[in-house]
């Protein structure tokens, strides 16, 4: 299961506090929902506390102690006395804790890897942590520590420049190695975070502690300038990231072993190679259907010509927001008339729209959902002419016929509405295989139910379905070291038919490493899981379509194999075993 620990940091409740609250003599044992809420409250407070010294050695050590203490608390539960939903909660919490510890181990590996290019990190962390612990250093001592940092950074930067120069002379020994483009980007990001933490540390004392500003202001301001200069050097001279212009495609693969570990957390019982085979088989089905739709358009088997024609079916500039509302009404009417899923009137009424800026579309070139709004991508006045036409073609009317129900109803908006009202504590366990899988499942069901009537609408739906297959193929091959970023862009443009602007923006997001490496796999694979579960529950006559969909929506964002246990009344699995799709030969 994807861990929330990748994006957030734990706070500062001591180990004994957690154990005392959960197992104090005479205390009433907590229900599993209560246990999860208890952990979430600890996590939230811990996160806020340590935000002043984020990613420090002390913070990560405290986080490790907290997670391990909760594993001890959870082990005291008696799984044989839990009903299926409580057992699911116990499995989810155990998986989340294990995943969090794994993320910490990876953070420590990165810390060691980048240490030689971040010599100032330890000193800044000492300043922030001592204040956080209530034992701030005397102003003159803090000033003396800061005063040494600029010279360190200047020396380091000169050393990197020398190492780059030496690397061009293969017969001569080099100095300490220069960072790679990815390492430089990460060092710049960490350096910015360190500068922000240092600024908070300074501002919390400058006007309140006598003599603090007199001693500290000058070395603090010089250190801030040097850190900003170093970040610019790393980004521009090594990573090739210059201003708001086009960013180079920089990422880092996690390797086969970590992929397998992450798949285990998500309750996916296949190897990465099996999943690539499943995606390629689904891709081939899409190509066959694309050819059939092209024939309906009197274009023979040339589905790429048909796709090109469909891309030109976009609204005029200024009309995209109205198109979204029109398509939303069609989708809502379709599912309500057929009694496919319950749509509460508040959910139907309470949503909005927001247009994406040109800068935002560099990493998000298509519509998406954000809490209350569907955020809409389309041409803007400040885009280059080429980018304007690509943005319009990439968000054409037939494409939006498929995208809007994915994002709103019966997709993400309905999903979020119900999750906030049923087992809301399970938000801690968010997984793309449910979050994105639910919306992709609806793309599949709407196809089967004849929602896409015209060949153009069919091609619009198939384009996105092919794209989900391609996401599995390119991201897994990237993390296995089998595909480079430029090859990923080429695959999306040549095999799927993306515009280069959209393909590049997509790959930029896939490889950056700031969210789950399996996120892009979650769409198609989660959809296939729900389709398989639909066959078990609905096709067999155990449940109606309405009962099935309403039940899934009350379970929260959990791995689909655990949702299967709740739907079918099976024991909660502690590891994955459900083969929901046969791997392709």
Lowest mean pLDDT across 14-18, 106-110, 297-301, 395-399: 14-18
Q: Say if CB 123 and CB 197 are below 8 A apart.
A: no
Query: What number of residues does the chain have?
Result: 585
| Average pLDDT score over residue span 41-64 | 96
Q: Which two tokens stand for residue 270?
A: 């296949």
Position 423 pLDDT exceeds 70: yes
Using the Cα atoms of residue 561, residue 562, residue 567 and residue 570 in order, give the sign of their dihedral. positive
Task: Assess contact for 5 and 100: CB atoms under 8 A.
Answer: yes
The whole-number pLDDT of residue 77 equals: 80
The sign one gets for the Cα dihedral 82, 86, 88, 89 is negative
Instruction: Give the start-to-end residue ranges of the domains of the chain.
Output: 4-116, 118-239, 282-565
Instruction: Give the span between the Cα atoms of 271 and 253, in whole angstroms.
Output: 16
Q: What percent of the chain has pLDDT over 70?
A: 92
At residue 158, the pLDDT reads 93
Which carries the bigger pLDDT value, residue 93 or residue 31?
93
Cα 284 to Cα 306: distance, rounded to the nearest angstrom = 17
Q: What is the rounded CA–CA span in Å between residue 250 and residue 447?
A: 36
Mean pLDDT over 300-325 rounds to 96
Cα distances (angstroms) measured from residue 208 to each of 129, 197, 202, 516: 18, 18, 10, 42
Q: What is the pLDDT of residue 109?
A: 97
Alpha helices in 394-454 (DSSP H): 397-407, 412-419, 432-448
Tell me how far apart the alpha carbons of residues 418 and 438 are, in angstroms, rounded to a whole number: 13
* Confidence band, pLDDT 50/70/90 cuts, at residue 13: very low
Residue 584 has pLDDT above 90, yes or no: no
Q: Return the residue matching tokens 């008339």.
A: 337
The mean-pLDDT minimum among 25-39, 52-66, 227-241, 322-336 falls in: 25-39
Q: Is the pLDDT of residue 99 over 90?
A: yes
DSSP state of 375: E
pLDDT at residue 199 is higher than 90: yes
The pLDDT-based confidence of 459 (bands split at 50, 70, 90) is: very high
Q: Give tens-digit pLDDT for 518-527.
A: 999 999 999 9
Angle, in degrees to the nearest 10, between helices 560-568 and 432-448 = 70
- Other CB atoms within a 10 A radius of the CB of residue 38 amount to 17
User: Comparing C-alpha atoms, which of 276, 327, 290, 292 is closest to residue 466?
Assistant: 290
pLDDT at 21: 35
Q: What is the pLDDT of residue 580?
A: 96
Say yes or no to pLDDT of 397 above 90. yes
Q: Is the pLDDT of residue 113 over 70?
A: yes
Q: What pLDDT score was predicted for residue 500?
A: 87
User: What are residue 134's phi and psi, to 5 degrees?
Assistant: 85, 15
Q: Which residue has the higher pLDDT, 4 or 501?
A: 501
- Using the structure block, give the residue that is written with the tokens 């919306």: 439
Q: Between 243 and 192, where is the model more confident?
A: 192
Q: What pLDDT, on the 0 to 100 scale, is given for residue 242?
A: 86
Query: Structure tokens of 168?
Result: 């061009």
Residue keyed to tokens 């499943």:
278
Q: Residues 388-424, buried b or exposed e (16+ Cβ, 10 A)?
A: bbbbbbbbbbbbbbbbbbbbbbbbbbbbbbbbeeebe
Looking at 76-85, 305-314, 396-405, 416-425, which range is the least confident one? 76-85
**Residue 270: pLDDT band by 50, 70, 90 thresholds?**
very high
Which pLDDT score is estimated for 153?
95
Contacts for 28-36: CB closer than 8 Å, 24+ residues apart: 31/86, 32/77, 32/82, 32/85, 32/86, 32/87, 32/89, 32/90, 32/93, 33/86, 33/89, 33/423, 33/425, 35/73, 35/74, 35/77, 35/89, 35/93, 36/89, 36/92, 36/93, 36/425, 36/426, 36/428
Tell me what pLDDT residue 26 has.
39
Judged against a pLDDT cut of 60, whether residue 271 lies above it is answered with: yes
What is residue 147's predicted lDDT score, i.e. its pLDDT?
Answer: 97
pLDDT tier, 17 (very low <50, low <70, confident <90, very high otherwise): very low
Residue 581 has what pLDDT? 93
Q: Tell me, what's the pLDDT at 7?
A: 31
Q: What percent of the chain has pLDDT over 90?
A: 83
pLDDT for 297 beyond 90: yes
Q: Does the pLDDT at position 409 exceed 60?
A: yes
Pairing of strands 368-370, 373-376: antiparallel
- pLDDT value at 12 more than 90: no
Task: State the average pLDDT for the chain.
Answer: 91
Residue 481's Cα: distance from chain center in Å?
A: 20
Work out the pLDDT band at 170, boundaries 50, 70, 90. low
Residue 43 contacts residue 18 (beta carbons within 8 Å): no
Q: What is the pLDDT of residue 501?
A: 82
3-class state of residue 370 by DSSP: strand
Q: What is the largest CA-CA distance in the chain?
A: 82
pLDDT of residue 426: 96
DSSP letter at 4 equals G
DSSP string, 546-563: HHHHHHHHTS-S--HHHH
Q: Mean pLDDT throughout 180-185? A: 95
User: Does the structure show a pLDDT above 90 at 182?
Assistant: yes
- Residue 354, helix vs strand vs coil: strand
- Greater model confidence, 510 or 440: 440
CA angle 343, 348, 353 (to 5 degrees): 140
């Amino acid at each position: 299961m994807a861990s929330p620990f990748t994006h957030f940091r734990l706070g500062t409740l001591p180990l004994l506090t957690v154990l005392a609250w959960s197992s104090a003599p005479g205390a009433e044992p907590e229900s599993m929902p209560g246990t999860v809420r208890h952990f979430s409250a600890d996590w939230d407070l811990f996160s806020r506390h340590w935000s002043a010294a984020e990613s420090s050695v002390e913070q990560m050590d405290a986080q490790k102690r907290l997670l391990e203490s909760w594993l001890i608390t959870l082990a005291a539960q008696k799984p044989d006395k839990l009903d299926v939903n409580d057992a699911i909660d116990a499995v989810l919490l155990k998986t989340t804790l294990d995943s969090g510890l794994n993320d910490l181990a990876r953070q420590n590996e990165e810390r060691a890897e980048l240490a030689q290019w971040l010599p100032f990190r330890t000193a800044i962390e000492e300043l922030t942590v001592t204040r956080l612990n209530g034992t701030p250093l005397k102003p003159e001592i803090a000033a003396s520590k800061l005063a040494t940092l600029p010279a360190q950074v200047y020396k380091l930067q000169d050393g990197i420049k020398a190492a780059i120069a030496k690397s061009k002379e293969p017969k001569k020994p080099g100095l300490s190695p220069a960072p790679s483009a990815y390492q430089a980007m990460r060092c710049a990001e960490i350096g910015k975070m360190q500068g922000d933490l240092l600024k908070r540390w300074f501002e919390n004392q400058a006007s309140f502690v006598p003599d603090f500003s007199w001693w500290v202001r000058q070395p603090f301001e010089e250190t801030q300038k040097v850190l900003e200069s170093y970040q610019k050097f790393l980004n521009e001279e090594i990573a090739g990231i210059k201003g708001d212009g086009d960013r180079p495609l920089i990422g880092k693969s996690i390797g086969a072993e970590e992929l397998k570990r992450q798949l285990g957390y998500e309750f996916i019982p296949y190897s990465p190679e099996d999943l690539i085979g499943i995606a390629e088989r689904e891709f081939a089905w899409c190509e066959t259907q694309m050819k059939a739709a092209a024939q309906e358009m009197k274009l023979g088997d040339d589905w790429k010509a048909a796709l090109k024609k469909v891309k030109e079916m976009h609204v005029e500039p200024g009309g995209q927001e109205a198109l979204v509302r029109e398509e939303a009404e069609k989708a809502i009417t379709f599912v309500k008339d057929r009694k496919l899923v319950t749509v509460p009137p508040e959910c139907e009424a309470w949503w909005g729209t927001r247009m994406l800026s040109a800068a935002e579309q560099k990493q998000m070139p298509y519509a998406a959902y954000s809490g209350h709004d569907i955020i809409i991508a389309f041409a803007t006045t400040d885009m280059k002419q080429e980018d304007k036409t690509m943005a319009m073609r990439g968000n054409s009317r037939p494409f939006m016929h498929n995208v809007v129900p994915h994002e709103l109803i019966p997709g993400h908006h309905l999903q979020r509405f119900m999750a906030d009202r049923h087992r809301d504590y399970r938000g801690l366990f968010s997984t793309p295989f449910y979050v994105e899988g639910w919306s992709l499942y609806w793309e599949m069901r709407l196809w089967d139910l004849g929602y896409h009537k015209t060949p153009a609408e069919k091609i619009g739906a198939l384009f996105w379905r092919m794209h989900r297959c391609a996401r599995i193929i390119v991201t897994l091959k990237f993390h296995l070291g089998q595909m480079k970023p430029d090859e990923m862009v080429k695959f999306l443009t040549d095999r799927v038919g993306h515009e280069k602007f959209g393909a590049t923006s997509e790959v930029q997001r896939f490889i950056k490493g700031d969210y789950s490496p399996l996120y892009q796999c979650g769409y198609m694979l989660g959809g296939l899981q729900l389709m398989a579960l639909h066959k078990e529950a609905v096709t067999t006559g155990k449940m109606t379509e309405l009962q099935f969909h309403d039940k899934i929506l009350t379970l929260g964002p959990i791995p689909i194999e655990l949702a299967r246990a709740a739907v079918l009344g099976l024991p909660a699995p502690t590891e994955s075993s459900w083969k929901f799709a046969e791997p392709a030969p």
